Chains A and B, each alone.
Chain A
């Protein structure tokens, strides 16, 4: 099976702009989780989508949002970008029925200037 894919791989934006990142999970996986990774912070959970519904949410401001489509592909959106939003954004997929490993994509590196 193909792995988790994320597009774009790299992105440069300026403060105040918005950005949309895309994630295609492993075929058959219905759960997609999004994480933000910054130096020294590890991975911080943003949210998880399962069957087009947000099932879990981390402690991020409302500027961070997401959605999932019927084919399980997911997008996350960040509005009104801030310098501190510069990070590697990772998505991970799993079957979603509980108790399974999450498999990560390569990430989208976002730089906010």
Chain B
């Protein structure tokens, strides 16, 4: 089946630094990718929709200048958490929507810890 990977799987960074998370669709093309954040014992919260070659669309309450999203190709989207703070510590999950069938597949997630 279709596979979505994320890199890194976990990362620890110091407060004030920036962290980049990659989301790749390995065996299919995805014009649309989505980024979610999940805090412990909570549901997934949609952060933004990423469309290849255009600007991302952010959900209400999500700071676009803090969470930079780039979708430069049909198989890669990146999320950069800028000037990270401890409250940004969370589990970040991406999903990719296949071009042809419209099916959506999730990545394994990235655990971000900001110290």
A binds B: no
